[in-house]
Amino acid sequence: MSASVEALKAELERFGKENDAAKTARAERMLNITRDTGELLSVLARAMAARRILEIGTSNGYSTLWLAEAAKATGGKVTTVEASQFKIDLAAANFARSGLASLIDLIHDDAGRFLERARPGAFDLVFLDSERSEYPRWWPRLDAALRPGGLLVVDNASSHAAEIAPLVALVGGDPRYETCMVPAGNGEYLAVKSA
Ligand SMILES: C[S@@+](CC[C@H](N)C(=O)[O-])C[C@H]1O[C@@H](n2cnc3c(N)ncnc32)[C@H](O)[C@@H]1O
């Protein structure tokens, strides 16, 4: 663990809490994952030696930093997709400060559009933390982009269970996937694709 990245993550945790308590507009809130979710992502990425990591929903890059630290350990890279220019600017500044920017491809685009051009099997690990109503529409492309044996992690599985339910029904009903709920942070839905 790099001391400066750890200090930056701690700073972003404080900023996220203060900012999100003060702002009512969703577009201005950071909506970051919790620290224990970051720890879970870090362990999962390292355990499966994930080298090609995709994140949908960057915000200011807090969760990306957890994934990028793991990618540094596995010799991999993180591709992270964000639609908001405001959040892209915040994330780019944080990545530059972290010293991990060379391991991060920050894509300013709509995730649905990005997924349409993603290569089949391009990613070992996908972290989904974005516009929940879009997940069922994105699912066919997400599924295609995940390699056999790859892992999908979806945030807010318990905090917004009803909103995640349509995706859970699609993935859970697919015999190629083994799934579980992990009670970390806001609840993480894990689905591993059969090899
Ligand atoms: C919950 S936040 C992500 C938080 C981030 N993963 C973290 O923990 O630091 C969701 C993000 O998804 C972005 N978003 C919403 N709809 C999107 C879309 N269609 N394509 C790409 N990003 C989108 C929002 O702008 C927002 O920054």
What are the domain boundaries of the chain?
3-193
Q: What is the C-alpha to C-alpha distance for residues 16 and 29, in angstroms, rounded to an integer?
A: 8
What class does CATH assign to 3-193? alpha beta
Ligand 1, CB cutoff 6 Å, lining residues:
31-33, 57, 59, 62-63, 81-84, 87, 110-111, 129-131, 134
Q: Note down pLDDT in tens along the chain; length 195 residues.
A: 566 999 999 999 999 999 999 999 999 999 999 999 999 999 999 999 999 999 999 999 999 999 999 999 999 999 999 999 999 999 999 999 999 999 999 999 999 999 999 999 999 999 999 999 999 999 999 999 999 999 999 999 999 999 999 999 999 999 999 999 999 999 999 999 999
Please report which helix (H) or strand (E) contains residue 56, including its range: strand 52-56
Are the CB atoms for 189 and 164 separated by under 8 Å?
A: yes
Q: What is the C-alpha to C-alpha distance for residues 1 and 12, in angstroms, rounded to an integer?
A: 16
Give Rg (Cα) of the chain: 15
Ligand 1 centre to CA of 86 (Å) is 11
Ligand 1 centre to CA of 148 (Å) is 26
Residue nearest to atom 1 of ligand 1 (CA): 31
Ligand 1 centre to CA of 56 (Å) is 7
Q: What are the distances in angstroms from CA 91 to CA 56, 82, 83, 84?
A: 13, 9, 12, 11
Torsion angle in degrees (nearest 10) through CA of 9, 11, 13, 17:
-160
Reported pTM: 0.98
Ligand 1 centre to CA of 154 (Å) is 12
